[in-house]
């Protein structure tokens, strides 16, 4: 296991060809950033991190014996699942909460956060992908874990789990089908968000190099305690195992289609 203030790498059997990712796994802040001017309660909310994802990521990595990379800084500091040119990279207001330390912000401070947190996280993801490819002798399968709130602006979200994707549906389709086979879940694709997000983690590390990938979103009330995390680890582990056994998901696409309004040259590296 390797960790610093930007990321943690959970070691596993790299030769299995599967890598798990947790972009918003923690609500941590380095001491020199204090609390960003926010009350402690803000860091227990979804605005600071994806509730339930860190324990679920650790449980799945242990059960599957595969490596994982997760961030070790709050998305309120800077969002690793955004491109460097995305206007929501550093939020001034998030779901009604004003983040005092994020506005006004100098160009120097923005660059400092990119260099100290955002870029090292993505470098760690890239290095883990390269290590997985070398050890397995094939293109890695990338599965990213996120969580979403049960309600948004007073409107209930009916899905327990969703799968986000862009132009490459190789992992999405069997994953969605396996979740639907459960019979007890309401599932959907590209809800409550669209997976075609320019410069996000899976665009950078999955779409551009043509690696099979999918982003799994789980409703936060499903994984808000140990019992929920254990239940979802039990459910997802065999599904991920089955996905990883599909040889078609370990063949890179040379020219993956893209549904989003962007082009590769516009993305910051």
For range 107-122, the mean pLDDT: 98
For range 163-191, the mean pLDDT: 95
**Residue recorded with tokens 């779409």:** 207
Using CA atoms of 14, 49, 194, 86 in order, give the dihedral in degrees to the nearest 10.
-100
215: three-class secondary structure by DSSP:
strand
Rounded CA-CA distance 260/266 in Å is 12
Residue 32's CATH number: 3.40.630.40
DSSP state of 46: T
pLDDT of residue 260: 43
**Residue recorded with tokens 């040889």:** 247
Task: Provide the domain count of the chain.
Answer: 1
Strands 68-71, 97-98: parallel, antiparallel or unpaired by DSSP?
unpaired
Task: Please report which residue ranges of 25-171 form alpha helices under DSSP H.
Answer: 53-64, 107-113, 119-136
Contact in structure between 132 and 17 (CB atoms under 8 Å): yes
Contact in structure between 5 and 72 (CB atoms under 8 Å): yes
* Range list of β-strands (E), the chain: 2-3, 7-10, 18-22, 68-71, 93-94, 97-98, 141-148, 151-152, 155-156, 161-164, 187-189, 213-219
Residue 2 predicted with pLDDT over 90: no
Q: Which residues contact 43 (CB under 8 A, 6 or more apart)?
A: 27, 29, 35, 49, 74, 76
pLDDT of residue 198: 85
pLDDT in tens, 27-84: 999 999 999 999 999 999 999 999 999 999 999 999 999 999 999 999 999 999 999 9
Domain carrying residue 184: 2-266
pLDDT of residue 97: 85
Rounded CA-CA distance 269/258 in Å is 18
User: Distance between alpha carbon 243 and the CA centroid of its chain, in Å?
Assistant: 18
pLDDT in tens, 185-210: 999 999 998 998 889 999 999 999 99
Tell me which of 44-53, 86-95, 148-157, 253-262 is least confident.
253-262
DSSP 81-111: TS-TT-TTSS-SEETTEE-GGGSS--HHHHH
pLDDT of residue 257: 55
């Amino acid at each position: 296991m390797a960790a610093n203030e930007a990321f943690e790498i959970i070691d596993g059997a790299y030769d299995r060809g599967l890598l798990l990712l947790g972009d918003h796994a923690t609500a941590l802040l380095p001491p020199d950033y204090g609390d960003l001017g926010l009350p402690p309660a803000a860091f227990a909310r979804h605005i600071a991190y994806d509730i339930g994802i860190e324990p679920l990521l650790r449980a799945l990595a242990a059960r599957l014996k595969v490596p994982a990379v997760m961030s070790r800084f709050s998305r309120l500091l800077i969002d690793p699942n955004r491109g460097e040119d995305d206007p929501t990279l550093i939020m001034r207001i998030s779901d009604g909460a004003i983040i005092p330390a994020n506005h006004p912000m100098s160009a120097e401070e923005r660059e400092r956060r990119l260099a100290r947190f955002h870029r090292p996280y993505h470098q760690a993801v890239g290095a883990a992908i390269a290590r997985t490819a070398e050890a397995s002798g094939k293109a890695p399968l990338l599965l990213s874990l996120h969580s979403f709130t049960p309600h948004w602006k007073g409107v209930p979200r009916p899905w327990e789990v969703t799968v986000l994707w862009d132009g490459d549906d190789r992992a999405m389709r069997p994953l969605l089908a396996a979740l639907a086979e459960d019979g007890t879940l309401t599932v959907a694709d590209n809800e409550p968000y669209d997976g075609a997000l320019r410069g996000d983690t899976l665009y950078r590390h999955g779409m551009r190099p043509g690696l099979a990938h999918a982003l799994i979103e789980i409703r936060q009330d499903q994984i808000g305690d140990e019992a929920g995390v254990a239940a979802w680890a039990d459910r997802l582990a065999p599904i991920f195992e089955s996905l990883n056994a599909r040889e078609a998901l370990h063949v890179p696409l040379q020219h993956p289609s893209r549904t989003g309004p962007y082009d590769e040259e516009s993305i910051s590296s």
